[in-house]
Amino acid sequence: MDMQHQISVVTLGVSDLERSKRFYRDGFGWTPVFENEEIVFYQMNGFVFGTWLKGSLEVDTRVRELPASGAMSLAHNVSEEGEVQAVMSALVAAGATVLREADAPPQGGVRGYVADPDGHIWEIAWNPAWPINEEGHVVFGV
């Protein structure tokens, strides 16, 4: 069996769905495509992103207590160097906490880190070696 290289859905457990929705709507500018009292879905460029009340996610996965966030990070790449700080500022205004101010890593580009209101880590990055194509997809190492 040859498995397709694909992620269909990324779902984060959150403690306050309305607070989370305000963050993703006001910070990133994302519009929900579905929502109810437990979950919110956003259509992304090739996958669906969801935020689900942590307790409901625990019931669905049969995990007694999901670990705290922070053992991973998600990335939001931008097309231009100057966009990194602008996105980080918008996210902070929507409730993010700055973990690392935007700077230039040794491998090039610009990156900074913020945490959403539930502590999920987001890297905001511009990498000249990883362009974003017309569909909004990052292309590795072009």
Per-residue pLDDT tens for 40-65?
A: 999 999 899 999 999 999 999 999 99
The contacts of residue 21 (CB under 8 Å, 6+ apart) are 32, 35, 40, 51
What's the chain's length in residues? 142
Domains of the chain (ranges, CATH numbers): 9-126 (3.10.180.10)
Window from 18-27, 68-77, 96-105, 112-121 with minimum mean pLDDT: 68-77
pTM of the model: 0.91
- 142 confidence band (pLDDT: 50, 70, 90): low
Q: What pLDDT does residue 27 have?
A: 98
3-state secondary structure of 20: helix
- In this prediction, residues 15-32 reach a mean pLDDT of 97
34 burial (CB, 10 Å; 0-12 / 13-18 / 19+) is: exposed
